[in-house]
Amino acid sequence: MGEFVRLEVSDGVGTIRLDRPKMNAISFQVQAELREVAAEATERDDVRAVVVYGGERVFAAGNDVKEMAELSYADMVKHGASVQSAVTAVARIPKPVVAAITGYALGGGCELALAADVRFAAEDAQLGQPEILLGIIPGAGGTQRLARLVGPSRAKELIFTGRFVKADEALAIGLVDRVLPRDDVYAEAVAWAARFTSGAALALRAAKEAVDRGLEVDLDTGLEIERAAFAGVFATEDRTTGMRSFVENGPGKATFEGR
């Protein structure tokens, strides 16, 4: 368990919990701990889905600017991969991942939220990529994941201006998927994740990988990725169980073992 990031597991749901007072600034240490807990969440069989959560007050207000302020170009060439890889590690968890966003999710915090499969936000949450106001650009996937999520024009407008996006606008443009009262955000995120704790784990993994990898390539290559993944799940016990249950009992009644 890290100093600022930990994995809490309950009933098949793993919560990646950021806890670095006061604003969950994402330092190089936090990045290292994110990589560690993402690997743990990936490897543990008792984790079937994941919630990323910064607590009741704030999700993450950004990367640690004080830590980066004195870095040179050469320093950032050395550390740039670390900045990206922490967020990418979360994005590559091969299980359903939901970000539970309270307060601010800015800069690196917004990029961390973008790494989730879906995002639930509090009514008073604010998201954004304000790096331009510091004379820099997003460096942990913001220019890429944001554009893929909301489209290039909206992404450019948000990145060029650095403005904060309130929850209602974030919902309207597809930056978040649900807006909830602050006190309900984490519980609803856990409830969403819990839907998959008895799901067909290998099929869920294949579906996530097919969507994510397919977005990185042309359509024909994406269809080939899908074809291979579709054929692959026919080797699983869950496929046999699911199809037999459908024939005998109708849809939605199968009990999967994750094999």
The ranges assigned to domains in the chain are 5-194, 201-249
Q: What is the Cα 90 distance to its own chain's centre?
A: 6
The pLDDT mean for the chain works out to: 94
Model-wide pTM > 0.85: yes
Which two structure tokens, joined as six digits, stand for 192? 């969403």
User: Which among 153, 129, 150 is positioned nearest to 141, based on CA atoms?
Assistant: 129
Q: Which fold has domain 5-194?
A: 2-enoyl-CoA Hydratase; Chain A, domain 1 (3.90.226)
Q: What is the CATH number of domain 201-249?
A: 1.10.12.10
- CA distance linking residue 236 with residue 243, whole number of Å: 11
Mean per-residue pLDDT, 168-189: 98
* HSE toward the beta carbon, residue 166, CA cutoff 13 A: 3
Q: In this predicted structure, what is the pLDDT of residue 76?
A: 86
Give the CA distances from residue 59 to residues 26, 98, 100, in Å, rounded to whole numbers and listed in that order.
11, 13, 8
Q: In this predicted structure, what is the pLDDT of residue 257?
A: 83
- CA distance linking residue 4 with residue 22, whole number of Å: 11
Mean per-residue pLDDT, 9-25: 96
pLDDT above 90 coverage of the chain, percent: 83
pLDDT at 121 over 90: yes
pLDDT at 109 over 90: yes
User: Bridge-partner residues for 119, per DSSP?
Assistant: 99
- CA distance linking residue 233 with residue 222, whole number of Å: 17
pLDDT at 171 over 90: yes
pLDDT tens for residues 220-238? 999 999 999 999 999 999 9
Which two structure tokens, joined as six digits, stand for 133? 């106001």
